[in-house]
Amino acid sequence: RPWNLLDDALLSDADAAGGLTPALADRMRRLIAYAVEGGAQGVLLTCSLYGPVATDADAGVPVLAADAAVFASALGGGHREVLVLATFAAALDDTVDRLRASARAARSPTRIVGQVIAPGAVPDPGAADAVLLAQYSLAPHADALAEALGLPVHAGPHAAARALRTAVRNATDGLTEGSIPCSE
């Protein structure tokens, strides 16, 4: 049963501090611990800034970073060029930088390009043979965009939900197919 915890000041506090500080990372770890103490079988962080906390969390349950699954999906899809879309430059720059770093780490030959678009606009994909949505808020438009462009569209929440479901199933003994509802 999915449930959500929100500390809506984590992003603004990180912005004011100039990035992720040890104190803010500790604050995120406390939220993760709170979720686990409340019965969570897995935790998905939905802010990319806090992704490094996911990789060092020792929570006893799977803890996933916001974009790890969508990056793996986009880079593992055999695409020559992935177009990253965002509605504002900071989100675009951050996602393109992190996706390029993931591509280098995976030794993927995939070319990464980016484009800022107005909400609701249909972009020109150029030579791209796939699209990655930089913001979770764009995910509801993934299917319509895929249809309009005739290209696969990788959306963070969809990939993350599938990855979390798999991680929880792998970490939990005795579960049967379909016993962990996880909305995408």
Give ranges for CATH 3.40.50.2300 in the chain.
68-155
What pairs with residue 82 in β-bridges? 112, 130
Question: pTM for the whole thing?
Answer: 0.78
Tokens 């049963």 correspond to 1
CA-only gyration radius of the chain, Å: 17
The residue type of 8 is: D
Q: What CATH number has the domain spanning 68-155? A: 3.40.50.2300
Cα(162)–Cα(39) distance, integer angstroms? 20
Percent of residues, the chain, with pLDDT higher than 70: 93
Complete DSSP assignment for 80-103: SEEEEEESSHHHHHHHHHHHHHHH
Positive or negative torsion for Cα 34, 7, 97, 18? negative
101-123 pLDDT, tens digit per residue, is 999 999 999 999 999 999 888 99
Polymer length in residues for the chain: 184
What pairs with residue 43 in β-bridges? 63
Burial per residue of 95-122, b for 16 or more beta-carbon CB atoms within 10 angstroms, e otherwise? bbebbbebbeeeebebebebbbbeeeee
Percent of residues, the chain, with pLDDT higher than 90: 60
